[in-house]
């Protein structure tokens, strides 16, 4: 089944980014959010992002117009019925995602595939909230979606080969490079990335080097485009801490113990870029 129309639940950073990637590739999009203001903001974000691509001469004005024409914003879940794939890209909240997934599962035709853009929640658990565990998959895009090539395709316990292959074909059509991942806490990228960030906080707290030198060491020595501490500020220190706490709980392994400095900074409200201060001041 070739996917011609994609439904997206959530018009925030990830949702509108996925919408843009689909529309630029010629795929129709229905982007749904609970408030019209959120939908309008999402559409405006896409328009602004496309304008920046025009300035960089990576897109023409005609291509922008064509892409925007493929995106329909809505506050009505009923508008998702014409999609062959619906991607849930709501806030990373387990209870909220379960509520949304149950609602759309009851409304959509049985053959429609549902995907979640979750970065941490079990795909098998989310799939169990629906009547189509075989047609449920994780489709984890990375921020900023239009620029980042990677998509993690996470197979739940019952995800079928046909579902995986259909979604993989779409990801490739969007110009992405998908990797296939088994269902496990953090999947692949965050499983490796967040403990590395946590270890950088241990190095900082032990006074082994300054934050600037830690980041410079990883950039120059490991060819990373951004150091782990600066990246933590970008992600949000509270998010990094929450992920480490999930790993510690689910794996029961002390190697996932969050660094006390990270916990202290979060308790102090120094969460990174979004609060103006984290490891660095913004």
d(CA 103, CA 95): 13
Please give the pLDDT value at position 91: 87
Instruction: Just list the catalytic residues.
Output: 119, 140, 152, 190
The reply to whether 72 sits in an annotated binding site is no
Pairwise CA distance, residues 127 & 114, whole Å? 9
So what's the pLDDT on residue 196? 98
DSSP 143: S
The domain defined by 5-182 folds into Rossmann fold (3.40.50)
Instruction: Please tell me whether 92 is known to bind a ligand.
Output: yes
pLDDT tens track for 169-188: 999 999 999 999 999 999 99
Ranges in the chain, pLDDT < 70:
none
The annotation status of 11 as a binding-site residue, yes or no, is yes
The verdict on whether residue 97 carries a ligand-binding annotation is yes
CB 171 within 8 A of CB 181: no
Q: What's the whole-model pTM score?
A: 0.91
Q: What does the alpha-carbon distance between residue 147 and residue 90 come to, in Å, rounded to a whole number?
A: 20
Which pLDDT belongs to residue 93? 87
Asked if residue 15 belongs to a known ligand binding site, the reply is: yes
User: How far apart are alpha carbons 42 and 73 in whole angstroms?
Assistant: 9
The separation between CA 150 and the C-alpha centre of its own chain, rounded to angstroms, equals: 10
E strand segments, the chain = 5-9, 28-32, 71-74, 85-88, 113-116, 136-141, 150-155, 177-182
Q: Is 49 annotated as a binding residue?
A: yes
- On whether 272 is known to bind a ligand per the annotation, the reply is no
d(CA 30, CA 213): 46
Residue-level pLDDT at 32? 98
The residue ranges of every structural domain in the chain are 5-182, 191-275
In whole angstroms, give the CA distance from residue 239 to residue 222: 24
For the domain made up of 191-275, give the CATH fold. Answer: 1.10.1040
pLDDT in tens, 46-81: 999 999 999 999 999 999 999 999 999 999 999 999
13 known member of a binding site: yes
């Amino acid at each position: 089944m070739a996917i011609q129309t994609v439904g997206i639940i959530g018009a925030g950073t990830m949702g509108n980014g996925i919408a843009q990637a689909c529309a630029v590739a010629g795929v129709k999009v229905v982007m749904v959010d609970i408030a019209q203001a959120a939908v309008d903001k999402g559409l405006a974000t896409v328009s602004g992002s496309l304008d920046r691509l025009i300035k960089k001469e990576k897109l023409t004005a005609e291509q922008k117009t064509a892409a925007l024409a493929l995106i329909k914003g809505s506050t009505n879940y009923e508008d998702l019925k014409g999609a062959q794939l619906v991607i849930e890209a709501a806030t990373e909240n387990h209870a909220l995602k379960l509520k949304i997934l149950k609602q759309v599962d009851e409304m959509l035709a049985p053959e429609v595939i549902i995907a979640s853009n979750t970065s941490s929640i079990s795909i098998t658990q989310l799939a169990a909230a629906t009547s189509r565990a075989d047609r449920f998959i994780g489709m984890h895009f990375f921020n900023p979606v239009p620029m980042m090539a990677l998509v993690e395709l996470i197979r739940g316990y019952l995800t079928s080969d046909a579902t995986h292959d259909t979604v993989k074909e779409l990801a490739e059509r969007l110009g992405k490079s998908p990797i296939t991942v088994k269902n496990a806490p953090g999947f692949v990228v965050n499983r490796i990335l967040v403990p590395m960030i946590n270890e950088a906080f241990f190095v900082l707290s032990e006074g082994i080097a300054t934050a600037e030198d830690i980041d410079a060491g990883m950039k120059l020595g490991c060819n990373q485009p951004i150091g782990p501490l600066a990246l933590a500020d970008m992600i949000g220190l509270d998010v990094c801490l929450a992920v480490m706490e999930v790993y510690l709980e689910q794996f029961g392994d002390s190697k996932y113990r969050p660094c006390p400095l990270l916990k202290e900074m979060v308790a102090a409200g120094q969460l990174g870029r979004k609060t103006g201060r984290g490891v660095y001041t913004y």
